[in-house]
């Protein structure tokens, strides 16, 4: 591996001239640039990225902060893997790389982020699992660290975010069920105090009122986003009197638990209890009846997140705010309510 000093000696040029040629500066002649690049290939030159980062004030890396240990991640949900693949594809085309920054659920998320900001290892951050009031956002704004939130928050400030259309999903799901004659619809939201839980429940309440359906706080369940949480949701619904005829899940990863508990009770999804998952997920293609849900193009979402993060690394003063739409896909898990 050859460094810039050895390359300059080989060419009998100054280090400054070689550096400007490698960085495509206008004050270097085409002939010199061509000669430098040819020698760099021949000698196996590799740039010193740390030194370049110090000189340019950029690292050409963007960090994705993931909270590990969540029930969905432990269950093998591939949501973030598909998102990451599309993000890295976008970054690679711009000469930038994605680094994963896993924050354990047992760690202090503020201190974790402070360490990343202090090290200045990345040009921008993408944070996930936003809270209703998220101190991470306030800290990043105060530190002047460019960041994109994958999720909204009530935290004040002029900061960028991209979020799924939780309100739109709740509204469309309630509308589909109401059109089939359902009047008593239960909903599951995350137990964890993430902002999406509040957005999801607010969208559900608004849709229930708009359609004149039965509204009761007891119909909204806060449970772990996991298969076991799905079992608990079905158990709770079975114990309600009168029993709801439909169930909306904040995550499709809960559906296997719902199906299993209904089966144990001699009931069938769709026939006895309509079930709508959140996202249409190929991982759950084995479920019968097929689970109704909402289509989400994860590659397109990952590309949008990647492009927004790249833009922040260059121009943080132009924040993006985008609610990502999702389209309803009907399936056999949704039918008219059973006759009383």
Average pLDDT over residues 51-67: 71
Residue 211 confidence (pLDDT) above 80: yes
pLDDT, averaged across the chain: 89
User: Using 50, 70 and 90 to split pLDDT, how confident is the model at 53?
Assistant: very low
- pLDDT tens for 70-117 read 665 555 568 889 999 999 999 988 889 999 999 988 889 999 999 988
| 91: its two tokens | 């970054």
Q: Name the least confident of 22-31, 147-156, 177-186, 278-287.
A: 22-31
Is the per-residue pLDDT at 11 higher than 90?
Answer: no
Which domains are delineated in the chain? 4-47 (1.10.260.40), 61-164+298-324 (3.40.50.2300), 166-295 (3.40.50.2300)
Residue 319: pLDDT over 70: yes
pLDDT 10s digits, 297-315: 999 999 999 999 998 866 6
Residue 159 tokens, joined: 């900061």
Please report the pLDDT score of residue 71 as a whole number.
60
What pLDDT is stored for residue 51 in this prediction? Answer: 47
For residue 288, what are the CA distances in angstroms to 63, 68, 168, 256, 270?
A: 39, 30, 26, 10, 10
Confidence (pLDDT) at 46 = 61
Q: CB neighbours of 236 closer than 8 A, spacing ≥ 6?
A: 186, 221
User: Given a cut of 90, is residue 58 above it in pLDDT?
Assistant: no
Tokens representing 205 are: 């309440």
Q: Are strands 185-190 and 246-248 parallel, antiparallel or unpaired?
A: parallel
Q: What are the Cα distances from residue 120, in Å, to 90, 241, 305?
A: 22, 56, 21
Please state at what angle helix 30-43 crosses helix 4-11, rounded to 10 degrees.
120
pLDDT of 186: 98
Cα–Cα distance measured from residue 221 to residue 137, given in angstroms and rounded to the nearest whole number: 28
Contact 65, 134 (CB under 8 A): no
Burial of 218 (0-12, 13-18, 19+ CB in 10 A): exposed
- Tokens 């760099």 correspond to 40
Identify the pLDDT of residue 62. 94
For residue 70, what pLDDT is reported?
63
* Across 133-162, average pLDDT: 92
Q: For residue 300, with 0-12 CB atoms within 10 Å meaning exposed, 13-18 middle and 19 or more buried, which class applies?
A: exposed
Would you say residue 226 has pLDDT above 60?
Answer: yes
Q: What's the whole-model pTM score?
A: 0.80
The whole-number pLDDT of residue 50 equals: 46
d(CA 161, CA 318): 12
| pLDDT 10s digits, 263-293 | 999 999 999 999 999 999 999 999 999 999 9
Percent of the chain exceeding pLDDT 70 equals: 91
């Amino acid at each position: 591996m050859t460094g810039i000093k050895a390359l300059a000696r080989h060419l009998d040029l100054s280090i400054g001239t070689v550096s400007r040629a490698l960085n495509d500066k206008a004050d270097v002649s085409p002939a010199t640039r061509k000669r430098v690049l040819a020698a760099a290939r021949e000698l196996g030159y590799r740039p010193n990225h740390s030194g370049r980062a110090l000189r340019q004030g950029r690292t050409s890396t963007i960090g994705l902060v993931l909270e590990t240990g969540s029930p969905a991640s432990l269950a093998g949900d591939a949501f973030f893997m598909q998102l990451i693949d599309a993000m890295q594809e976008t970054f690679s085309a711009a000469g930038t790389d994605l680094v994963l920054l896993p924050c354990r659920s047992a760690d202090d998320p503020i201190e974790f982020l402070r360490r990343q900001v202090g090290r200045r290892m990345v040009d921008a951050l993408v944070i996930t699992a936003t809270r209703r009031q998220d101190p991470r956002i306030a800290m990043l704004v105060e530190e002047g660290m460019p960041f994109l939130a994958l999720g909204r928050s009530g935290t004040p400030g002029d900061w960028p975010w991209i979020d799924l259309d939780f309100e739109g999903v709740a509204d469309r799901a309630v509308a589909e069920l109401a059109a089939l004659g359902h009047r008593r619809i239960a909903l599951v939201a995350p137990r964890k105090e993430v902002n999406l839980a509040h957005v999801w429940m607010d969208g559900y309440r608004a849709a229930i009122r708009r359609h004149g359906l039965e509204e009761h706080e007891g119909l909204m369940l806060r449970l772990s986003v996991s298969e076991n949480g799905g079992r608990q949701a079905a158990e709770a619904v079975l114990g309600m009197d009168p029993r709801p005829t439909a169930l909306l899940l904040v995550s499709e990863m809960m559906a296997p638990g719902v199906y299993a508990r209904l089966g144990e009770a001699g009931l069938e999804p769709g026939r006895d209890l309509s079930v709508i998952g959140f996202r249409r997920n190929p991982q759950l293609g084995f479920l019968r009846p097929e689970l109704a849900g909402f289509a989400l193009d994860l590659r397109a979402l990952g590309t949008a997140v990647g492009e927004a993060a790249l833009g922040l690394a260059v121009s943080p003063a132009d924040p993006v705010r985008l609610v990502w739409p999702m389209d309803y896909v009907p399936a056999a898990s949704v039918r008219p309510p059973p006759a009383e």
